[in-house]
Amino acid sequence: MEKIRIGIIFGGQSAEHEVSLMSASSIIKIIDKSKFDVLKIGITKDGRWHLYFGDVENIENGQWINQAVPAFIVPDPSRKYMITLQNGIETRYPVDVFFPVLHGPRGEDGTLQGIFELMNIPYVSCGVTSSALCMDKVYTKKILKNEGLPVADFKVYFKKDLLLEINAIVREIEESLGFPCFVKPANLGSSIGITKAHNKEELKDALFLASEYDTKIIVEKFIPAREIEVSVLGNENPIASLPGEIIPSNEFYDYTAKYFDGGKSKLLIPAPLAKEETEKVKDLAVKAFKALDCSGMARVDFLLSKVTGIFYINELNTIPGFTKISMYPKLWEASGLSYKDLIEKLIELAFEKYREKQALKLY
Ligand SMILES: Nc1ncnc2c1ncn2[C@@H]1O[C@H](COP(=O)(O)OP(=O)(O)O)[C@@H](O)[C@H]1O
Ligand SMILES: [Mg+2]
C-alpha cells in the first residue's frame, strides 16, 4: 500500500509556539512510519514557513530552524504540495493531508484552515467557521447559550469604549456580575491577558490589560469551580472520552500554572466524579461540539460549580495540547484509544470529511 504523505505543521506565531513544538515532536516520534511519510513543516514565531529534514529531537529545542529550508504552499487546488526554491530550482513535496499541530491564533482560529480549504486538501482539525468560533470566547458562549447549554454569565466590551466609559463599565460589571470576575481578551489562549479581578481597581487594570491583546473583551462571572475536561472525537457522530480534572497550582489555571510550575498542576484521569456526573459532562461535551459545528477533535473544558454542582462550559479547544502526556490524548488512552491509534483516527476523519465535501455541489 502506498504511504500517506502527511504534512505536520509545528511552531507558529502564537504564544503557544513552544507547546506546539512539544506536541508535534510527540506525534512525529510515534506516528507509524510504515503507513505515513512525514513532512515536517516548521513556522517560526514571525510566521516564516520552512521544511525541516533533520532529526525530530531538534524540534523541541528550537534548533530545527538551523537545518530548515524556506518553503511555501499556494492556495491553488492544482498544487497540493510544499514548494522550496533553492538557487532558482523549484522542488515539490506532495502532501495528501495536513495536520496543523498549532495552538492559538493563526493556527487554531480558522485562518490556516482557510488556506487548506482553498487548496482543497484534507486536514486534521475543525473547519474554518468552527475553528474561528471556538477561538472567540464571546461567540462560543453566545452560541452555547442560544442552544440552552450552561455558560457563566458574561458581558462584552470594546477597547474603543474603555477610555471614555471606564467608570460606567466598571459600575455595570459590579452590579451585574459582581466580584471577583474574570476578564479575558476574546480571542487568545494560554490564559494570556486574563485576570481574576477582585475589586474596582483590579477590574480597571484588567480591562486595559485585556485590551492590549484584543479589541474585544469578555468579562465573566466567577464560578468557584473544579476544572473538568472532556475529549471529543468524530465528525457527524462524535464521541466523548472519560472526563479528566485539572488541579491548578495557582489561584486559577494561569499561564504559569500551565507551563512553568514544573508540573505542580495535577491531572486526574479519570476525574473523580459520580457516575451520573460523568454521564452528564460527556453528554454536554458532545452537545457543545455539535453546537459549534466541530469536526475531528476538540477538548471541551468545564467549570463544575462547587456550590451548585452545575457544569458550565468554559471553552472548546479545537487543537488541544497533544504531547503524549497532554490531557486530550491521555483521556483517550484512559478510554481505550492509544496515542498512536488516536493520531490515525484523526487522519482518517480528515479524509472522511474531505470525501463528503467533494461529493457536494459547491461550485
Ligand atoms: N468564569 C470563571 N470562573 C472561574 N474561573 C475561571 C473562569 N474563567 C476562567 N477561569 C480560570 O481561568 C483559566 C483560563 O481561562 P480560559 O477561559 O480557559 O482561557 P484560555 O483560553 O486562556 O485557557 C481557566 O482554566 C480557569 O482556571
Ligand atoms: Mg482554558
Q: Per residue in 295-308, pLDDT tens?
A: 999 999 999 999 99
- Binned at pLDDT 50, 70 and 90, residue 163 comes out as confident
> In this structure, what CATH number is given to the domain that contains residue 196?
3.30.1490.20
> In this structure, what CATH number is given to the domain that contains residue 305?
3.30.470.20
- Binned at pLDDT 50, 70 and 90, residue 263 comes out as low
- Is 321 within the bounds of a domain? yes
**Are residues 267 and 216 part of one domain?**
no
Substitution candidate for ligand 1 out of 191, 249, 258 with most atoms within 8 A of CB: 191
- Is 188 within the bounds of a domain? yes
Say what percent of the chain tops pLDDT 70: 98
- Is 129 within the bounds of a domain? no
Kindly tell me the burial class for residue 329, based on how many C-beta atoms sit within 10 Å of its own C-beta (0-12, 13-18, 19 or more): buried
Substitution candidate for ligand 1 out of 177, 183, 253, 255 with most atoms within 8 A of CB: 253
Residue 265 pLDDT > 90: no
> How is residue 69 written as a grid cell?
529550508
**Are residues 140 and 101 part of one domain?**
no
**Are residues 294 and 274 part of one domain?**
yes
Q: Which of 193, 221, 249 is the last residue of a domain?
A: 221
Residue with CA nearest ligand 1 atom 22: 191
Q: Looking at residue 14, what is its pLDDT?
A: 86
Domain count, the chain: 3
Long-range contacts of 49-58 (CB under 8 A, 24+ apart): 49/73, 51/82, 51/84, 51/93, 56/25, 56/28, 56/29, 57/25
Residue with CA nearest ligand 1 atom 19: 191
Q: What is the SS3 assignment for 339?
A: helix
**Are residues 294 and 178 part of one domain?**
no
pTM passes above 0.85: yes
**Are residues 146 and 279 part of one domain?**
yes
Q: Which of 194, 221, 248 is the last residue of a domain?
A: 221
- Binned at pLDDT 50, 70 and 90, residue 285 comes out as very high
**Are residues 318 and 229 part of one domain?**
yes
- Is 363 within the bounds of a domain? no
The Å distance, Cα 314 to ligand 1 centre, comes to: 7
Alpha-carbon radius of gyration of the chain: 21
> How is residue 337 written as a grid cell?
484509544
**Are residues 141 and 270 part of one domain?**
yes
189-193, 245-249, 329-333: which has the highest mean pLDDT?
Answer: 329-333
Q: Average of pLDDT values for 249-269? A: 77
- Is 292 within the bounds of a domain? yes
**Are residues 282 and 146 part of one domain?**
yes
**Mean residue pLDDT across the chain:** 95
Residue range of the domain that includes 85: 4-123
Q: Average of pLDDT values for 177-194? A: 90
- Is 262 within the bounds of a domain? yes
**Are residues 292 and 177 part of one domain?**
no
**Are residues 113 and 80 part of one domain?**
yes
> Beta-carbon neighbour count of residue 208 at 10 Å?
15
Q: pLDDT tens digits, residue range 58-108?
A: 999 999 999 999 999 999 999 999 999 999 999 999 999 999 999 988 999
**Are residues 77 and 140 part of one domain?**
no
Q: Which of 221, 237, 256 is the last residue of a domain?
A: 221
**Are residues 139 and 39 part of one domain?**
no
> How is residue 288 written as a grid cell?
457543545
Q: CB neighbours of 360 closer than 8 A, spacing ≥ 6?
A: none
> In this structure, what CATH number is given to the domain that contains residue 93?
3.40.50.20
Answer yes or no: are the C-beta atoms of 286 and 220 closer than 8 Å.
no
Q: pLDDT tens digits, residue range 308-323?
A: 999 999 999 999 999 9
